[in-house]
Chain A
Amino acid sequence: MEPQVIPASAVRDDVWIPSACSLCYGTCSIVAHRVDGVLVKIEGNPESAVGKGRLCGKGVSGLMTHYDPNRVRVPLRRTNPVKGIGVDPGWKEISWDEALDEIAQRLRKLRNDDPRRLFIQRTTTVTSSRTPIQVFAAAFGTPNRSSVGGGLHCGNGAHLISGLMHASWSVVPDFQYCNYAVYFGASKGHSAGHASCSNMGLAAEARARGMKMVVVDPMCNFAAAKATEWVPIRVGTDAALALSMCNVMVNELGIYDAPYLRAKTNAPYLIGPDKLYVRDPESGKPLVWDLSLRKAQPYDAVKAQEMALEREFEVNGLLCSPAFQILKTHLKKFTPEWAEAITTIPAANIRRLGTEFAREARVGSTIVIDGVTLPYRPVAAIAFRGSQGHMNSLYNVLAVDLLNQLVGSADMAGGCLGFNPACHGHPETGRPAYIPKAGPDGMMVAGMWLEHDFPYPIKSPRKPERMGLQDLFVMAQSSPFPYSSDRGQLWDTLHLPYRPEVLLNYGANALMSIANKETVAQALSQFKFIISIDLFLTESSDFADIVLPDCDYLESLDSRANFPFLFNLPGGMGEWCWPIKQPTVQPDGQQRRSSDILIELADRIGMREDLNAAFNAVLKLEGPFRLEGDRKYSYEEICDADLKTNFGPDRGLEWFKKNGVIKWRKKPEEVYWRHFVDVRVPIYWEFLPVLREKIAAIAEPRGVKIPQGYYEPLPDWVPCVSHEENNPGYDLYAFYYRDIIHTNSFTMENPWLDEAARLDPYSYTIAINAATAHGKGLGDGDEVWVETHRGRRVKGKVHLTQAIHPEGVGIAACAGHWGDEMPVAKGKGVFFNDLLEVDFDHASPVNLNLDLCVKVKVSKAAEVRR
């Protein structure tokens, strides 16, 4: 690698520029120090609530990614028509005009033929890429988008349940007031991601204050290392533990928040023998049993305190019970002794955890915050990436959230908070304002969502028109099927009326982030044309026909660095904060901002008016700030309109460039909104059996089976594929975890982060329990194969530790680059995803979550013969 010479600048300056990080999706606020045209330092922005002046090691290392000489700086066109793993594309440099002309010509024709043939995928790391891509897709007319591995592995369970139960994208303990937090495969406040730097400070203060943190995880990792107690659990069995804890609380101790359940959930709704609501014949509304009138009434005609939660009643000749009674009975089988066999956690510990959670919840207590009296439930059960990365993700995460619902800690002081589900808006403009509201059957509809396809009301399934089949499997956000080994067969079977032709990729490395590379490579090879907007030439860029050089975050502009607030603005009391991302330096080559590329393409395709309409709709531009007709707008003008719509004509882009952020104080009525808003959430998912029937009516006549066990209205223990495999010798469960030093596959090229990872004993190794390893004759540093019974295998060096479950094999993702164009990243770490199958059999039949745990054997590399 030649040392890069940064040309002397004629500009003499010494400035600190407020902007936003994009080394992970946390998007913490930064200030970038530029001296004479060169960036010399990046720090956290102390003015912003996003990070509060703190910045993690990734953020401060952004300089090294920015100045990496291996960045793509010119448009490229492949000359080699053959595509494959490790095949040289034969890149030649072309001009921007030539690149955009060809792309626009192809897309224009495609749009006229069938716009659905365009598939757009993006990296989750650059949070602000969501809006321009969402807009472009809507204007173009394609329903096919993907957030690739970062999205697929992350949230089909976690974000779905957070949306349905908390009106938010994710959940976090109310750090300021929580006394007891149980983390299930989560690390909020101890690693990257949503509001990461802010959460790190809040979590540290909470621990210093005495908050007890229990971390349930197969590995004693970033969160568990700081916890009061680490509970090693067999991979993917979180539902078993959580359901058993619920049983202890409800049936052994009799501790639950009855008033909350009556008023804020469907616990009192009467359920008939068909597992469905008993409904009022006239209005169709679900009925509850009115204890004072001794009869069934529509749920909104009865005061909450009069609603029965238990017993059996006869209504119109049918025996029925409140949903809570059914839940209570359902929970009885999940004894701690039963759960021990599944989770390997001793029954006594399970009983203790359930007891501690119930008692610490202080059901019935109140607290005064900023002069407002609120229910006080200082316990939180948090599930995220670890517990959701399985076929049984829906029940795993739902069972965990049931803990919060049973004690009434959901979005209450001290409890489990959604990230900012309600906002009353800036005091001067009243914007952005949103609040959850009651929808069908009184169930909560989120006030804001990252997309316009809200998790509730549940959509009606139909014959699929989307490549990912999400319009059939309507509980799924992300889908593995654009990449799966059986995608063609599924599309044929389910009569997808077209086949994808063109892939537009923004920054994602699908070959490394989804599953085994052979299957994904086949999927990529079938596209007739691939456009990739990249910072670096990745393993996936090798499949592109045209690569366009992207500006990085230090060169880019966006008005929505941390909006919607429910994604990565800190939850809990404090401040609302709207930062922007702005260029801190000009690009040093021919790089262009992806937002500008998309606007230019829209022009060349002939859809400028559609793009303007989509921007108006997505950004909710109003009044004089709405984009007009087919007038051409720069992205600066669009960002300016966005900011002025929300904060008034005097606070446009120039104001934000100077000031960086706008802040105002949160109110208890916003943070603890659930106490003030008349909405309910489903602890009994009555819609699931009905949904299964509708999906099965479409899928099963075409040979696609929809198993009933995933569609029951109450969470249950459903094993993953790995739990049911009993091949001799394959006795360990391999899983991956998101390293705190790296962001997916992106940051391994950063030399500072690579150096930190090489110093860390775990980042590039295979973690295995020391006693287990000794039993297999393995020593620390031995090179091993980790292999599935299907023959997929990865090689790496083991690190022996007591900090992992005896059955666990932990690998930090997404290492193992093999491409030549990221020389720092090449050859570092282990490519865990190569162990993963991607097909219908390894995806949840309810929310399409990919199964990310695999049963493996581990053996010394020298011993394996092929």
Chain B
Amino acid sequence: MKTVSRVHRDKIVLVKVRLFGILSLLANERLVALDMAEGATLGDVLTKLGGRFGREFTDRILRVLGEMHSYCQVFVNNTQVSDLDMELKANGSAAEVGMILLMASDGG
């Protein structure tokens, strides 16, 4: 994950993260509002979520550092993304991020 190279300390992007399924239950929250520096990436958001909810939370999302599990579905402003280096931009007043795990499989 690339780090934010230029931090505009006076420019903040509000990121609203909506957690679903097991993630919501683990975090015990549905909506997490984060103040992120402008230019922050999806990876930065995950780092912050990990700091708040712990390793168990991020282990469910990240396959290895810098890459999500294929069953982790993330939507930024209603568009599915998988690139953790994606810069988050507000859609209106906030950047909207949705996260859900589709981790079970039943074969067949």
Binding site for B on A (CB under 8 A): 25, 111, 115, 120-122, 124, 130, 133-134, 137-147, 150-152, 154-156, 159, 169, 449-454, 457, 459-460, 462, 466, 470, 477-478, 609-610, 613-614, 616-618, 620, 622-623, 626
Contact = CB atoms under 8 A, between A and B. Distances in A.
Interface stretch (B2-10, B36-44, B86-94, B95-103): B95-103
Given A460-B63, A617-B73, A477 B105 contact: yes
A617 B30 contact: no
A451 B100 contact: no
A145 B105 contact: yes
A451 B30 CA distance: 25
Given A452-B73, A609-B30, A151 B21 contact: no
16 contacts: A120-B104, A121-B106, A124-B108, A133-B106, A138-B101, A138-B102, A141-B22, A142-B22, A143-B22, A145-B105, A147-B107, A154-B107, A451-B105, A478-B107, A616-B98, A618-B102
A297 B44 CA distance: 35
Contacts of B80: 617, 620
B20 A609 contact: yes
Contacts of B73: 452, 617
Nearest to B102: A452
A31 B34 CA distance: 54
Listed residue (A143, A462, A477) with the most chain B CB atoms within 10 angstroms of its CB:
A143
Given A141-B22, A609-B20, A617-B100, A122 B106 contact: yes
Contacts of A614: 20-21, 100, 102
A622 B18 CA distance: 17
A453 B20 contact: no
Contacts of A610: 20-21, 24, 100
A-B pairs with lowest CB-CB distance, top 6? A478-B107, A477-B107, A141-B22, A451-B105, A452-B71, A151-B107
Interface residues of B, number: 28
A120 B75 CA distance: 26
B103 A139 contact: no
Contacts of A122: 106
Contact of A137 (B18, B24, B59, B104): B104
B20 A155 contact: no
B69 to A, nearest CB: 8
Nearest to A122: B106
A610 B75 CA distance: 14
Contacts of A120: 104, 106
Contacts of B102: 134, 138, 451-452, 614, 617-618
A154 B18 contact: no
Given A138-B20, A145-B104, A617-B75, 11 more contacts: A141-B24, A141-B25, A143-B22, A145-B106, A147-B106, A449-B70, A453-B70, A453-B103, A617-B80, A622-B78, A626-B78
A450 B21 contact: no
Contact of B21 (A139, A449, A477, A616): A139
Listed residue (A141, A151, A626) with the most chain B CB atoms within 10 angstroms of its CB:
A141
Given A610-B100, A616-B75, A152 B107 contact: yes
Nearest to B73: A617
Interface in B11-66: 18, 20-22, 24-25, 30, 59, 63-64
Given A452-B70, A453-B70, A143 B104 contact: yes
A130 B108 contact: yes
Contacts of B79: 622
Nearest to B64: A460
A159 B78 contact: no
Contacts of B71: 451-453
Contacts of B24: 141, 610
Contact of A142 (B30, B64, B104, B107): B104
A620 B100 CA distance: 13
A150 B79 CA distance: 35
A284 to B, nearest CB: 12
A459 B79 CA distance: 25
B20 A613 contact: yes
Contacts of A457: 63
Contact of B70 (A150, A454, A609, A618): A454
Given A452-B73, A454-B70, A622-B78, A477 B20 contact: no
A755 to B, nearest CB: 30
Contact of A450 (B69, B100, B108): B108
B63 A459 contact: yes
A141 B21 contact: yes
B108 A150 contact: yes
Contacts of A462: 59
Contacts of B100: 138-139, 610, 613-614, 617
B22 A115 contact: yes
A499 B78 CA distance: 36
A142 B26 CA distance: 12
A514 B102 CA distance: 25
B9 to A, nearest CB: 33
Given A139-B20, A610-B100, A617-B100, A147 B63 contact: no
Contacts of B22: 115, 141-143
Contacts of A450: 105, 108
Contacts of B30: 609
Contacts of A466: 104
Nearest to B80: A620
Contacts of A155: 107-108
A154 B108 contact: yes
Contacts of B70: 449, 452-454
Contacts of B101: 138
A134 B108 contact: no
Contacts of A146: 106-107
Contacts of B107: 146-147, 151-152, 154-156, 159, 477-478
B105 A453 contact: yes
A451 B102 CA distance: 8
A138 B104 contact: yes
Nearest to A133: B106
A829 to B, nearest CB: 24
A150 B107 CA distance: 9
A155 B107 CA distance: 7
B58 to A, nearest CB: 13
A144 to B, nearest CB: 6
A144 B107 CA distance: 12
Contacts of A111: 25
A151 B104 CA distance: 14
B21 A143 contact: no
B21 A147 contact: no
A613 B106 contact: no
Contacts of B75: 616-617
A588 to B, nearest CB: 30
A630 to B, nearest CB: 10
A14 to B, nearest CB: 38
A623 B75 CA distance: 12
Nearest to B72: A452
A541 to B, nearest CB: 20
A145 B20 CA distance: 18
Nearest to B103: A143
A623 B64 CA distance: 31
A77 to B, nearest CB: 27
Contacts of B104: 120, 134, 137-138, 142-145, 451, 453, 466
A466 B73 CA distance: 20
Contacts of A454: 70
B74 to A, nearest CB: 9
A746 B101 CA distance: 32
Given A138-B100, A454-B70, A470 B78 contact: no
Contacts of A613: 18, 20-21, 98, 100
A452 B108 contact: no
A159 B106 contact: no
